[in-house]
């Protein structure tokens, strides 16, 4: 079946021209849209799917797009690509760099939409090669953490054919030409946590008449560094980052409150609860020590579950991909600390597979310091960097790996 799916994928994509993929991708890259604002991107995807013969529903979960192509009796496959960009100012210097100030496709979702579009079109044009139903999902707001949930809340799992398998892939740093598969846990759970510290504001010349929330929040940030180093086993993978610290409007005014934004990555549910408890305890303790007029507000906001591939399905799709990109080009990076809401879309009990497509240009990769992958990968632009620029050489192979996965389930 692996060889059949691979040969079918190569066959159905044989007519694709790299120049067409590049033009489509570069247009998307020039016009990035933030979470739940992907109106242009969704419109382009929806139009291409309609032209290819899909029954298209727009506005699912806000700006989501769902295309359904029924092609006789057989399995149902969902293919998913996310569409949103990030509030990052691009500094790549590319000729097709973002034209939207302060907004960039810094996580490669323009690449994902390109893969999704051309795989969907190629499969639609080759209906004689497979039977069943193909559902193509353009998901909004992955970066904000609410896009998949919004589509599910809008009836995604009830309004459209229930899948037998769900597939997705993500561009990543690493040498272009590889495909990275990991059976089981592949991406971590993530939680965004907000801490509001309440103080007593006043004039900067009279700190004795205030309770300074900036100092208290600074102590919280410093103490949080001990959570991973002193409260979690070295064998547990945990990252706790303070990415936001907001307080005050003028240098001579002590503000009445300070706000911290944290991001937590974990791979075990019990560890997650232990770390969240530590965050609450530290915030409350520091506020108590400072004499704050009220306890801190600690709120867990947007969350992503861990992404856990069906191990058997992943082995099957990895075999398909070996036949597409080469036996030695499929590797295992192991579980990543990055997170996704891909699995939120998947109905309970349905197997899914998610993999990475490394996209660093060979010259950039060779110039990075170090010899091993783990060393070199820290020296190249990664997702969310203002310098992140997937090499165009990954566009056609990415279409083939996505189509190959679909054909593994749908193949005639």
Both tokens of 105, joined, read 């496709």
H/E segment holding residue 66:
strand 64-71
Q: Which burial class, exposed, middle or buried, applies to 223 when counting CB atoms under 10 A from its CB (0-12, 13-18, 19+)?
A: middle
Q: Which residue among 38, 110, 121, 142 is the active-site one?
A: 142
User: Known catalytic residue: 142?
Assistant: yes
Measured in degrees and rounded to the nearest 5, phi and psi for residue 348 equal -55, 130
Evaluate whether 105 touches 29 at the Cβ level (below 8 Å): yes
| Tokens (6 digits) for 123 | 């499969």
Angle between helices 2-12 and 109-125 (to 10 degrees): 90
Closest by CA to 221, choosing from 286, 289, 298, is 286
- Check 84, 110, 340, 341 and give the catalytic one: 84
Q: Kindly compute the dihedral angle of the four CA atoms of residues 267, 135, 46, 342, in this order, to the nearest 10 degrees.
A: 0
Strand order in the sheet with 189-198: 238-247, 257-266, 189-198, 297-304
Structure tokens at 397: 């192979």
Q: Could you confirm whether 316 is annotated as catalytic?
A: no
Q: Which residues are catalytic, by number? A: 84, 142
């Amino acid at each position: 079946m692996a060889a059949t799916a691979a040969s079918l994928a190569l066959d159905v994509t044989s007519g694709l021209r790299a120049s067409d993929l590049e033009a489509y991708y570069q247009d998307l890259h020039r016009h990035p849209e933030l979470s739940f604002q992907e109106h242009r991107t969704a419109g382009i995807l929806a139009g291409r799917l309609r032209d290819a013969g899909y029954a298209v529903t727009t506005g699912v979960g806000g700006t989501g797009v769902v295309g359904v192509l029924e092609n006789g009796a057989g399995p149902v496959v969902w293919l998913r690509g996310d569409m949103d960009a990030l509030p990052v100012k691009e500094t790549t210097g590319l000729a097709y760099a973002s034209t939207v100030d302060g907004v960039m496709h810094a996580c490669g979702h323009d690449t994902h939409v390109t893969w999704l579009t051309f795989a969907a079109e190629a499969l639609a044009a080759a209906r004689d090669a497979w039977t069943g139903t193909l559902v193509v999902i353009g998901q909004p707001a992955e970066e904000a953490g609410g896009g998949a949930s919004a589509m599910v809340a809008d009836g995604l799992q009830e309004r459209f054919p229930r899948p037998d398998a769900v597939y997705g892939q993500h561009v990543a740093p690493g040498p272009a030409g590889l495909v990275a598969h990991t059976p089981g846990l592949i991406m971590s759970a993530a939680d965004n946590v907000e801490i509001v510290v309440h103080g007593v504001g006043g004039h900067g010349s009279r700190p004795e008449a205030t309770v300074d929330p900036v100092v208290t929040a600074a102590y919280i940030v410093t103490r949080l560094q001990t959570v991973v180093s002193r409260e979690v086993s070295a064998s547990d993978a945990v990252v706790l980052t303070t990415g936001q610290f907001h307080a005050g409007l003028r240098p001579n005014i002590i503000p009445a409150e300070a706000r911290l934004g944290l991001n937590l990555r974990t791979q075990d549910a019990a560890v997650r609860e232990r770390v969240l408890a530590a965050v609450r305890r530290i915030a409350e303790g520091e506020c108590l020590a400072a004499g704050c007029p009220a306890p801190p507000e600690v709120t867990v906001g947007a969350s992503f579950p861990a992404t856990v591939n069906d191990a058997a399905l992943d082995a099957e799709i990895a075999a398909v991909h070996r036949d597409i990109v080469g036996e030695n080009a499929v590797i295992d990076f192991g579980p990543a600390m990055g997170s996704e809401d891909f699995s939120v879309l998947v109905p309970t009990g349905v197997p899914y597979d998610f993999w990475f497509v490394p996209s660093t240009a060979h010259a950039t990769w060779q110039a990075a310091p170090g010899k091993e992958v783990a060393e070199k990968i820290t020296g190249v632009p990664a997702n969310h960097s203002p310098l992140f620029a997937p090499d165009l050489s990954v566009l056609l192979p990415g279409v083939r790996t996505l189509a190959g996965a679909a054909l593994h389930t749908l193949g005639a």
